[in-house]
Amino acid sequence: MSSYPQPALAQVSSMTSAAAAEPARAVAFQGAPGCNSHRAALEYDPDCLPLPCFAFEDALDAVREGRAARAIIPIENSQHGRVADIHFLLPESGLSIVGEHFLAINHALMALGEGPFAAAYSHPQALGQSRRYLREKGMVPMAYADTAGAAAYVRELGDPTLAAIAPKLAAELYDLRIVEDNVEDADDNTTRFVVLAREPLDPFTLKDQKTMTTFIFEVNNVPAALYKALGGFATNGVNMTKLESYQTGASFAASKFYVDIEGAPGEARVDRAMQELAFHCKYVRPLGTYRLARSRG
d(CA 83, CA 89): 12
The pLDDT of residue 247 is: 80
pLDDT digits 0-9 by tens, 155-185: 999 999 999 999 999 999 999 999 999 999 8
Q: Write the single-letter amino acid at 275.
A: Q
Is the pLDDT at 39 greater than 70, yes or no? yes
Query: Would you please indicate which residues are annotated as catalytic (active-site) residues?
Result: 191, 193
CB atoms within 10 A of CB 161: 13
CA-nearest of 87, 189, 217 to 132 is 189
Cα–Cα nearest to 67, from 12, 26, 15: 26
Give the C-alpha separation, 169 to 163, whole Å. 15
Question: By percentage, how much of the chain surpasses pLDDT 70?
Answer: 97
Backbone angles phi, psi at 160, to 5 degrees: -70, -10
Condensed to tens digits (0 to 9), the pLDDT of residues 221-276 reads: 888 889 999 999 999 999 999 999 888 766 666 688 999 999 999 999 999 999 99
Query: What angle do the packed helices 6-21 and 147-157 form, to 10 degrees?
Result: 130
Quote the pLDDT of residue 276. Answer: 96
Which amino acid does the sequence have at 255? S
pTM of the complete model beyond 0.85: yes
Q: In the CATH hierarchy, which fold is given to the domain comprising 108-181? A: D-Maltodextrin-Binding Protein; domain 2 (3.40.190)
pLDDT band at residue 108 using 50, 70 and 90 as cut-offs: very high
**Helix/strand number for the chain, H first, E second:** 10, 15
Task: Give the residues across from 215 on adjacent strands.
Answer: 259, 286
Instruction: Say if 6-104 and 108-181 have the same CATH topology.
Output: yes
Alpha carbon of 97 to those of 17, 34, 42, 55, 154: distances in Å? 26, 24, 18, 18, 35
Q: Is 204 exposed, middle or buried (0-12, 13-18, 19+ CB in 10 A)?
A: exposed
Band the pLDDT of 1: cuts 50, 70, 90.
Answer: very low
pLDDT at 91 over 90: no
Alpha carbons 52 and 3: distance in angstroms, whole number? 12
List all residues 6 or more positions away from 64 whose beta carbon is below 8 Å from its beta carbon. Answer: 93, 94, 95, 198
Question: What pLDDT is recorded for position 251?
Answer: 64
Phi, psi (degrees; rounded to nearest 5) at 18: -65, -40
Confidence at residue 81, expressed as pLDDT on a 0 to 100 scale: 78
pLDDT at 189 over 60: yes
Which sequence spans correspond to the domains of the chain?
A: 6-104, 108-181, 203-291
Residue range 75-99: mean pLDDT, rounded: 84
Give the Cβ contact number of residue 289 at 10 Å: 26
Q: Single out the residue of 103, 129, 126 nearest to residue 190, CA to CA.
A: 103
Residue of 134, 142, 143 lying closest to 116 (CA atoms): 134
Q: What is the mean pLDDT of residues 34-41?
A: 96
Can you give the pLDDT at residue 187? 83
pLDDT reported for residue 83: 78
- CATH superfamily, domain at 6-104: Periplasmic binding protein-like II (3.40.190.10)
Pairing of strands 281-291, 211-219: antiparallel
Average pLDDT over residues 118-147: 94
What per-residue confidence (pLDDT) applies to 93?
87
What was the pLDDT predicted at 2? Answer: 53
Q: Give mean pLDDT, residues 117-124.
A: 95
Instruction: Tell whether the model's pLDDT for residue 102 goes beyond 90.
Output: yes
Q: pLDDT-derived band of residue 117, with 50, 70 and 90 as boundaries?
A: very high
**CATH number given to 203-291:** 3.30.70.260
Task: Identify the band that residue 44 occupies on the pLDDT scale cut at 50, 70 and 90.
Answer: very high
